[in-house]
Amino acid sequence: MNIVLLGPPGAGKGTQGERVAQRLGIPKLATGDVLRAAVAAKTPLGLAAKAAMERGDLVPDSVILGIMKDALAEPEKAKGVVLDGVVRTVPQAEGLERVLSELGRKVNVVLLFEVGEDELVRRLSARTTCEGCQTPYTGLEPGTACAKCGGKLVRRKDDEPAAIRQRMRAYHEQTEPVIAWYESRAKTSANGPRVVRVNALGDIEAITKTVMGELEG
């Protein structure tokens, strides 16, 4: 099963993606994690992406399509994958459809996480993230040890107020059109995915249960 997680920054795609992937026994691919690891390792990919990421802008579609293509061809992703933040523009959605169809696969379900903007800004402003395993925390100070891997929690540069505003703008302008694109695919193509809207406000476990119910139902 190939699942696309869509939703604004801070909606919980990373948290829920991790849980859903674990429960389904399939891996997760998060382009944000791949890019942050590349920035930390100062690879050519990281050097090319760093400035755009820190501003809160999207990195170019060609970069994302390259990551997608390499990652989806990995044998451990053959059974299915949870795609967290991988599709953020219509050309990326078209590219993903092409890459998957070359592998004889398709997007089965699109989960759209919905949360009001005030809550998103509140969550992102209070967020620290493990610089090792990328687990996000709410309300823990930078420097605290990650409960999962012992790594150091840091404030992501793009969780500063100006970058948060820019990421919201990028979401409205470039990612929201992807929702309508998938909804029209669902209606017009036999290969179109099921689009499921999820109220992502509330208890983490309750949201996972709702999502799993939708996926298994």
Nearer to ligand AMP, 12 or 56 (CB): 56
Q: Does the protein bind ligand AMP through residue 168 (CB under 6 A)?
A: no
Contact 138, 123 (CB under 8 A): yes
Distance CA 194, CA 108 (A): 6
Binding string, residues 19-38; x marks residues near ligand AMP by CB under 6 A: ------------xx--x---
Active-site annotation holds for 98:
no
Instruction: Give residue number: closest CB to ligand AMP.
Output: 32
Name the β-bridge partners of 84.
5, 30
Paired tokens of 108: 């089965």
Nearer to ligand AMP, 167 or 185 (CB): 167
Q: What is the SS3 assignment for 191?
A: coil
Q: Of these, 28, 50, 77, 167, which contacts ligand AMP (CB under 6 A)?
A: 167
Nearer to ligand AMP, 16 or 31 (CB): 31
Contacting residues for 45 by C-beta, under 8 A, at least 6 apart: 35, 38, 63, 67
Q: Does the protein bind ligand AMP through residue 52 (CB under 6 A)?
A: yes
Order of strands, sheet of 136-138, starting from the edge strand that comes earlier in the sequence: 136-138, 127-130, 153-154
Distance CA 104, CA 142 (A): 44
Instruction: Determine which one of 36, 77, 127, 185 is catalytic.
Output: 127
Q: Does the protein bind ligand AMP through residue 4 (CB under 6 A)?
A: no
The site for ligand AMP (CB under 6 A) is made up of: 9, 31-32, 35, 52-53, 56-59, 64, 85-86, 88, 92, 158, 167
Give the residue numbers marked as catalytic: 13, 88, 127, 156, 167
